[in-house]
Amino acid sequence: LSQGLSVLVGLGLCVTMLGLGCAVELGQLGQQLRRPVGLLLALLGQFVAMPLLAFLLALIFALDEVAAVAVLLCGCCPGGNLSNLMSVLVDGDMNLSIIMTASSTLLALFLMPLCLWIYSRYWINTAVVQLLPLGAVSLTLGSTLLPIGLGVLIRYRHPRAADLLVKISLWSLLVTLVILFILTGTMLGPDLLAQIPASVYAIAVLMPLAGYALGYGLATVFKMPPHCRRTVSLETGCQNVQLCTAILKLTFSPELIGSMYMFPLLYALFQSAEAGLFVLAYKMYGRDSYKQDTLGEEEDTDISYKKLKEEEVADTSYGTVTTEEHNSIQMEPTQTAL
């Protein structure tokens, strides 16, 4: 069962990264590199705000070294595909969402091991931190580059197939998480699951919620429009829990990590639930204002178009029409120079 779980985690991660690559268009990537706002926001949100938040929560709740490493690992992960789906539901900027997810995944190759090394210093004298496999973490991250590159190539050569693979990857995310919950519960058993401290459950609830708030505040500082603020908020709070699960499963022994293997799954559960509440609140209270703003922009465009047409009609070389007070219409001839 443990070997089957490892295979499932690896395949699920590959499908997710393939779908992420299929969502990236080279033209959009070049545009974002010329104005690297998305890259900067991904850097600040995923590798400054979230690792620091995970570190502070681990200190505040006085976690032991095993739980602290699991929380730190989740906090240092790049953004996940869930944010792309949620951005669609809140009328966000999909180009910004995809670029932030892709760029944070690429930056994680260097910055994730660095963040883990920096923030795990507090627990440096513990066995689990001394055994923290930063090389294996980098190797796992490096292995995700191949499916991402393959996905970008498929998007360039076969756009329709890429759209299908994006949908498959989003469904596989949901299916993989459900299967992981079932298999992990079977392996660990209810007794071991009950040993997870209440503080870990509290962090699994608070961490994504605080991440959403930090992302929204970060976008506000950059004076971004409301739909971009919602996008950055979701991108910051949604972590790649499949990558976190893969690293915990493939680099730590079950005897060492124990029940903390469940933390990224708990995080996935609560980040999805809180993002769902975010979407529900937007559908109930925020969508009307978004429609009004959109209609206002369309009306401005129509008015400009009408004015342009009126100016074109008024400009004629054969004569102009004038209306006098007594509802009479006179034609004033104009001379045409030959």
Per-run averaged pLDDT (10 residues), the chain, 338 residues: 65 75 70 75 92 94 88 89 80 82 83 87 68 62 73 82 80 72 64 77 94 93 91 90 80 72 84 88 73 47 42 45 46 45
- Would you say 112 and 250 are in contact if contact means Cβ atoms under 8 Å apart? no
Domain ranges within the chain, ordered by starting residue: 1-287
- Would you say 78 and 102 are in contact if contact means Cβ atoms under 8 Å apart? no
* 3-class SS of residue 92: coil
**Residue 79 pLDDT:** 85
The Cα 19–Cα 150 span in angstroms is: 10
**Residue 321 pLDDT:** 46
Joined tokens for residue 88: 């669609």
Do the strands 329-333 and 319-323 form a parallel or antiparallel pair, or are they unpaired?
antiparallel
Size (the chain), residues: 338
Joined tokens for residue 18: 């393939």
- Would you say 184 and 262 are in contact if contact means Cβ atoms under 8 Å apart? yes
Smallest Cα–Cα separation from 91: which of 299, 300, 278, 302? 278
**Residue 156 pLDDT:** 80
CATH assignment of 1-287, among 3.40.50.2020, 3.40.50.720, 1.20.1530.20, 1.20.1370.20: 1.20.1530.20
Element (H, E) at 321: strand 319-323
b/e map of 110-129 (b: 16 or more CB within 10 Å)? ebbbebbeebbeebeebebb
Smallest Cα–Cα separation from 121: which of 68, 85, 199, 46? 68
Give the number of other CB atoms < 10 A from CB of residue 255.
6
The C-alpha angle with vertex 61 and arms to 55 and 62, in degrees rounded to 5, equals 85
Residue type, 281: A
Joined tokens for residue 174: 């949901």
Strand partners, 233: none
* 3-class SS of residue 103: helix
Joined tokens for residue 216: 């929204």
DSSP state for residue 122 in the 8-state scheme? G
